Amino acid sequence: MGTSTRTRSIKKVVPAGELPASWPEREQFAPDDLVTVWIEPEDAELEGAGSLREVMDVVGRRAKARGLTPKKLAAILNDS
């Protein structure tokens, strides 16, 4: 079975028979069918954003906290 990770998420390929019995989606597959499952933490701040503008404010604030500056952003956007 394959497993790969991204920042704060896990992607795993498992037989459908290994899905939790409480998942109704499990019944859509034969037990030996391979399915891809993503496990990601919830992001209450982004989920609570009521508009695209609020989403962009959250993303911008997080990027700035990680060191993104207008100069770095311009360099990224102008890179061919």
Quote the tokens at residue 43. Answer: 């992001």
Q: What is the pLDDT of residues 51-77, one digit of tens each?
A: 999 999 999 999 999 999 989 988 988
Boundaries of every domain in the chain:
1-41, 42-80
Residue with tokens 């989403």: 55
Whether the per-residue pLDDT at 80 is higher than 70: the answer is no
Question: How many whole angstroms separate alpha carbon 62 and alpha carbon 56?
Answer: 10
Q: How far apart are CA 1 and CA 45, in angstroms?
A: 33
| Spatial CB neighbours of 15, under 8 Å, sequence gap ≥ 6 | 1, 31, 32, 33, 34, 35
**Has this prediction a pTM greater than 0.75?**
no
pLDDT digits (tens, 9 = 90+) for 1-41: 555 444 678 899 999 999 999 999 999 999 999 999 998 88
